[in-house]
Chains A and B, each alone.
Chain A
């Protein structure tokens, strides 16, 4: 499954067919935003509730949710790996739904409740399973996998191996920690809803 590119003002959008080729179809391409700042003005202040703490953040029309979180809120587990929605390092949960924050305009998340990996308790089933299974090498990609896994288990408490693969295939781990990640998700599922 792919994380949701924001296509409307709401933070939940439809799922997409994972077999579709990845295309640059989002309304506001992030990269050209970064290089086309000239016409953008200050758009004002939004409110983001991040891991339970409310922040008032000044943003421009083209400020990405990724940048608002990293630079204004000070969250560092949300990371830019590609800027085009193809790696999952920038994943956050809004209202429990995964979003690629590198494709999301901050303005559209005014009032949103956002969870990042820092916001999960260290005893959380997913976090503790990842730790126990050694599911992190450099670890740079792992917060994104943790949030995708949390989303999966909320929707599907007993995922099959195929379900896990389907849900995590949009995230890239260049260290190749996939076997450990897959095991960690299975362990977390078992822990949360023992058979």
Chain B
């Protein structure tokens, strides 16, 4: 392959900035000098649920270096109900107003000359509370005696939540129902039913870069530099909050030091904007690691479910009651509830399915999006159940799944057909990789070996909008303007590869501009594994428009019809006519350094699901299909699990950059190992008790499996750019159940609560004796 082709689609060219990243020479938001800014620290609630009687700030205000103290009441006076923001429900104030709803909620903000002074001053603030009955967990919330919010307040972002406005006396802010056939009757009539009560605990993203927002006012405009995956969303939120036209809000970003869903929607930005705007000065808001734990979490989820087969072993019924604990504020929980509820039966041919999926408020830190968007929690349930059903029927868990997996063109229980979702290919690949068909040394004495597989399915966020603007410079380099945020996944690299492939140029000559809402066009969000497909398609189109423009100019210059001109790496050609891009553009403008500009849009569409049945013939633009295989050894004395081989496969349609795809798969798998074995947020009476990195365990290099095999499966999508789809979440879906299924295979116990701690395994072994 020529070097230039290595920089196109399918080439594993390195990230353009690896050398800078390795030596730490890429500037992140927190590295920006801010000059004479006010540094902000926050006083946080000590009660899980209480009315705020009074906030005493005089002592803090009197401290040298303190510029001001702002409370929720102060902000409410200026902004009214606009203070309440959120992607699904306008329920979250930047500073608590009237009530606090979780321990750690921001109550007052101190602006000071430096961060240490600001933090010290927060300790000098006192709040008088009148305690309200706390809603500590899902059981409290569904008992319906105390309510986290007096009434539901759907935001204007999602039109389909309108009917919930003003609903009172409930902690359930959203319910998704799936009804296909009669699942209860089919279960009762079925020959074999397995059931389970599953629990996936709340966890935290812990991107190593801490969040940071710098906001200032410039000529009546609110400008900010912030760690966000969602610059276009943040611009809209700030415009609404301050009642400004979009043209008077500017949101800029830098590359993120990881995010995984932590830095999106409303984090530090509403507070920073409100403070900068009302104080009229530059503010810098940051969070310690301990505070970052409180900003957002992954939903803890309980699933009560069953799976039924008839006498021939056909799957006839799936029933699931799913409860997502969304904490004090809904964030995007309602969307998570629907998107994962609809795949709760799993990627199988099942005639009858019933899912009740609910998003539930509690007095805890808010839960929001996290790599997988709620789907790992339901995958935990359906992949444990089908495994158990296979055992009950005396069938091979791999072969049993394979028989029932959805194939191309099959309709899933929620009514949408499968395309470019090669579950069978993924399952076969991981089974082969871990030696499923070879004899297994099951071990002797305290060490016992086992193998497990799991399959996952997830819908891409739909509908969404992507835009791209391309400027081709006269020297045949280019500047690509998109609002996708590179947070390590390598979007800046693969978007350049897509454009360069179309334009037959070296992708290393394309610069991707960091999202800046003054310059880069609207893009829904960088999340939900949507960018490769959506923004990738906008980039493909913008490059095609540029190719057509170049060909038109060349046809004019050569005096031939456009159809006769082709674009090559050396420039346009037609028979014996040839010209370089640099000469062509120079000739057109008569100037060095001139630019040609094109723009393009890509918008996906869906059919909203029916409110009663949850069904839709097109609930999503496309599907992610993944599978995980695990071979493990359990030490029956200590309960420790050693992962000898973990194989993770994802159908990506077409890998734009195979090396980056493999990194997404293996990186997601490593994160999934934490979720399987130890990762969890522990709360006691609403108080987070392990919210520091001394106490919160994350996978380290020691937790790597002896062998980790990422496998790229390609079944091209008809409408993907070059057939491609995203991959950021695919690898994490099935990790925990694959490992739990391997534990079942090794030692015969079925665990239904994550994480699979050594204690939980030894306890289950004891009970089994």
Contact = CB atoms under 8 A, between A and B. Distances in A.
A137 interface: yes
Contacts of A24: 694
A131 B19 contact: yes
Contacts of B255: 138
Q: Which of B63, B666, B667, B692 has the most CB atoms of chain A within a 10 A radius of its CB?
A: B667
A84 B119 contact: no
Interface string A117-143: 110101000010011001111111111
B693 A134 contact: no
A136 B22 CA distance: 6
Given A35-B122, A136-B21, A137-B663, A171 B700 contact: yes
A87 B292 CA distance: 15
Contacts of A143: 22-24
A131 B22 contact: yes
Contacts of A174: 205-208, 258, 260, 671, 698
Interface stretch (A6-14, A41-49, A73-81): A73-81
A89 interface: yes
Contacts of B24: 76-79, 116-118, 139, 142-143
Interface stretch (B26-34, B75-83, B407-415): B26-34
Given A34-B116, A117-B24, A134 B289 contact: no
B667 A122 contact: no
B22 A142 contact: yes
Nearest to A24: B694
Interface in A19-77: 22-24, 31, 33-38, 62, 70, 76-77
Given A82-B692, A168-B701, A176-B671, A127 B23 contact: yes
A136 B25 CA distance: 13
Q: Which secondary structure characterizes the binding site on chain B? A: loop
Contacts of B205: 174
Contacts of A140: 28, 207-209, 257-258, 488
Contacts of A138: 21, 207-209, 255-258, 487-488
B61 to A, nearest CB: 15
A173 B257 CA distance: 10
Contact of B489 (A35, A78, A137, A168): A137
Nearest to B63: A38
Interface residues of B, number: 59
A83 interface: yes
Nearest to B706: A161
Nearest to B260: A174
A169 B699 CA distance: 9
B260 to A, nearest CB: 7
A111 B704 CA distance: 39
Contacts of B290: 31
Q: Which secondary structure characterizes the binding site on chain A? A: loop
A194 interface: no
Given A34-B288, A139-B257, A176 B670 contact: yes
A40 B666 CA distance: 47
B15 interface: yes
Given A81-B210, A138-B255, A140-B28, A131 B116 contact: no
Interface string B4-48: 000000000011001111111111101100000000000000000
A127 B20 CA distance: 10
Contacts of A112: none
A176 B668 CA distance: 7
Contacts of A84: 289, 692-694
Given A38-B120, A84-B692, A134 B258 contact: no
B442 to A, nearest CB: 26
B257 A79 contact: yes
A134 to B, nearest CB: 6
B211 to A, nearest CB: 12
A117 B23 contact: yes
A175 B20 CA distance: 17
B22 A169 contact: no
A81 B663 contact: no
Interface of B: 14-15, 18-28, 30-31, 63, 115-117, 119-120, 122-123, 205-210, 255-258, 260, 288-290, 487-490, 659, 663, 666-671, 692-694, 698-702, 704, 708
A81 B698 CA distance: 13
Nearest to A71: B33
A87 B708 contact: no
Contacts of A172: 206, 208, 693, 698, 700
A169 B701 contact: yes
Q: Which of B19, B663, B708 has the most CB atoms of chain A within a 10 A radius of its CB?
A: B663
A111 to B, nearest CB: 24
B116 A37 contact: yes
B351 to A, nearest CB: 39
Contact of B289 (A82, A173, A179): A82
Contact of A81 (B20, B289, B702): B289
Interface in A158-172: 164-165, 168-172
Interface string A137-154: 111111100100000000
A36 B208 CA distance: 25
A108 interface: no
A34 B39 CA distance: 13
Contacts of B209: 79, 81, 138, 140
Contacts of B490: 137
A78 B31 CA distance: 10
Q: Can you list the 5 inter-chain pairs with the closest CB atoms, starting with the nearest?
A: A77-B24, A139-B21, A140-B257, A138-B488, A176-B670
A137 B727 CA distance: 14
Given A38-B120, A169-B700, A134 B208 contact: no
A131 B694 CA distance: 30
A81 B256 CA distance: 13
A177 B710 CA distance: 13
5 contacts: A87-B208, A140-B209, A169-B702, A174-B206, A176-B699
A113 interface: no
B297 to A, nearest CB: 15
B210 A137 contact: no
Nearest to B114: A37
A178 B21 contact: no
Contacts of A135: 22
Given A76-B25, A182-B704, 11 more contacts: A76-B24, A87-B693, A116-B24, A131-B14, A131-B22, A136-B15, A138-B488, A141-B208, A164-B701, A175-B488, A179-B666
A170 B698 CA distance: 11
Given A31-B288, A76-B27, A137-B490, A37 B120 contact: yes
A187 interface: no
B227 to A, nearest CB: 11
Given A82-B693, A137-B489, A182 B31 contact: no
Q: Which of B22, B117, B700, B704 has the most CB atoms of chain A within a 10 A radius of its CB?
A: B22
A31 B27 CA distance: 24
Contacts of B119: 34-35, 37
Contacts of B27: 76
A122 B21 contact: no
A164 B666 CA distance: 19
A110 interface: no
